[in-house]
Amino acid sequence: MFDQLDEVRQDLTNRLIRAAKDRRSPMHTPAVVTSDVDARVMVLREFDSVSWTLRFHTDTRAPKVGPVEADPRMAVLFYDKGAKVQIRARGTGRILRDDEVTQTAWGNSTNFARRCYLGDGPGALADAPTSGLPAEFEGVEPSDEQLEPAWDNFSVLLVELTELDWLYLAHTGHVRAQFTRNAQDWTGRWVSP
């Protein structure tokens, strides 16, 4: 049982760090909501506990890019069923294209993962079920040279967190805390679940 706000904030931090590093973490694939009230599950690639930012990868042609650039308000929902912990996060999103963060993210990806950016853009119409990939890359890892056109379609979505809502579900009584960010400082409070 958590009874100190500092303990809750540390729990939040630890869970987000693990979610980004451990693909088996239940929080590794949160629901990401853009300002146009559209939601999708995305893979959390990194959590920076100093800047309080979440990093996701996306296609520059994805329908979420326009809404993020037009109105950067975002929400991210994490849930760990086993631990009975829900984290709701709000923040400001930015799409990064050809910059240092994007280049590093691309460089740390495998060619097999990069091939996703070779195909048709997300949401492109098709006459039959499709991965959108060119036929020659179905189940095949492309070479570095074959991936050169994919770079133009790759971008990073950074979400700078400004509000956190932590909920612990317990049969003895749920516990909830909220945190608001002011510059680098976080202010916490207990609230009724």
- For residue 77, give the nearest of 89, 95, 91 by alpha carbon: 89
Across the chain, mean pLDDT equals 96
Backbone φ, ψ for residue 64 (5° rounding)? -75, -20
Beta bridge partners of 73: 92
Contact 8, 188 (CB under 8 A): yes
- For residue 85, give the nearest of 157, 34, 13 by alpha carbon: 13
Whether CATH 2.30.110.10 fits 5-122+132-169: yes
**What's the DSSP call for residue 121?**
P
| Per-residue pLDDT at 4 exceeds 90 | yes
The per-residue pLDDT for 134 is 92
| pLDDT tens per residue across span 129-151 | 999 999 999 999 999 999 999 99
Beta bridge partners of 85: 80, 168
The per-residue pLDDT for 1 is 66
| pLDDT tens per residue across span 43-102 | 999 999 999 999 999 999 999 999 999 999 999 999 999 999 999 999 999 999 999 999
C-alpha–C-alpha distance, residues 118 and 59, integer Å: 10
The whole-model pTM stands at 0.95
| pLDDT tens per residue across span 17-26 | 999 999 999 9
* Dihedral angle, C-alpha 114, 118, 123, 128, nearest 10 °: -110
| Per-residue pLDDT at 184 exceeds 90 | no
- Within 8 A by CB and 6+ apart from 152, the residues are 60
